[in-house]
Amino acid sequence: MDLPPVGLGTMGVDDPSVVAAALDVGYTHIDTAQIYDNEAVVGDGLAGGDLEDCVVATKLWTDSLAADAVRAGTERSLDRLGLDAVDLLYVHRPRGDYDPATTLPALERVRATGLTDGIGLSNFTLDQVRTADEYVDDIAAHQVEFHPFFRDEALLGHAQREDYPLVAYSPLAGGLVFEDPTIQAIAQRHETTPAAVAIAWATSYDNVVTIPKASSRAHLEANLEATRLELAAGDIDAIEAIDREEELFPE
C-alpha cells in the first residue's frame, strides 16, 4: 500500500478536532484501532473532510479475530468510524482468537466484499509474518514499534525485500527522544527539535513510514515538516550507535 512518510497515530486522542485539523493541514493517513476506544472520535473528526486520497486504518483486537467474528468486528468498526469501508485493516496482535489458517482467510473474504482495500499486520514476529504471507494475497503493511531506541532489523529487512511499508509507531519513544543527549545534539546542529530528528531518522529508511501522535496544530504541522529534514550520514550513524534499548510495548 502506498502510504505517505508521516501519518497521524491516534492512540489517546479523544478530541475529533485533532483529526479534523490533521486533514486540514494535509495528513493523508489516519490510524486508529478498536482497543484505543476512540474510533467514534476519529470518525467524528473525519466527517466532512476530504478523504478521497486519505488512507484510514483501523485494527481488529484479539476478540474480533475468530473466523466467525472478523466480519462483525469489521462492521462495528466501520459503524463507529462512519465509513462504508476502511482502506487498511490490521490484525492488531497475533494472539487471543488469532489463527492464521482461519483468521486471514476470513479477512480476505472481508476484503472481497469491499469492506477494506488492504490487510495489514501489527506486532508480528518475522516467523508470524512469513506464516501470514501464506494466507494473505498481499501484506498491505506491517505496523511495529520503531524508534531510535528500538527497531527489529529482521522485520525491516523483510519489508524492504518484499516491498511493503513498515509503519513505525511510537517514533518519539514515548517522549524519551527529548531526553537523549545524542539526539539533542543533532537537533541543535540542525536548529530543529528532537522530535523532528527522530521522525527524519525513521523515514530515512527505505519502506519505513511513521505515525506520530500530535494534539496541537503546531505539532501536527511540525511532524509533517520533519520529513524535509535531511540528516547527514554521521547523524544517522550516531543515532544507531546509541547504547540503549527501550521497547515500550513488548508482546
Which domains does the chain show, CATH number per domain?
8-173+208-215 (3.20.20.100)
pLDDT of residue 107: 98
pLDDT of residue 250: 87
Element spanning 209, H or E = strand 208-210
In the block, cell 462512519 appears at 82
Give the whole-number percent of the chain exceeding pLDDT 70: 100
pLDDT of residue 114: 98
Which grid cell sits at 55? 488512507
pLDDT of residue 61: 98
pLDDT of 89 strictly over 80 = yes
**Among this protein's residues, is 164 annotated catalytic?**
no
pLDDT of residue 106: 98
Note the pLDDT tens digit of each residue in 5-18: 999 999 999 999 99
The strands making up 139-145's β-sheet, listed across from edge to edge, are: 8-9, 29-31, 55-60, 86-91, 116-122, 139-145, 166-169, 208-210
Note the pLDDT tens digit of each residue in 190-212: 999 999 999 999 999 999 999 99
Residue 118 β-bridge partners: 88
pLDDT of 152 strictly over 90 = yes
Taking a C-beta distance cutoff of 8 angstroms, is the pair 57, 32 a contact? yes
Averaged pLDDT for residues 227-232: 94
The amino acid sitting at 151 is R
Tally of CB atoms within 10 A around 161: 9
pLDDT of residue 209: 98
In the block, cell 537523549 appears at 180
pLDDT of residue 210: 98
Averaged pLDDT for residues 163-174: 97
pLDDT of 251 strictly over 90 = no
pLDDT of residue 48: 86
pLDDT of residue 190: 97
53 vs 251, residue with greater confidence: 53
Catalytic residue of the set 27, 36, 98, 169: 36
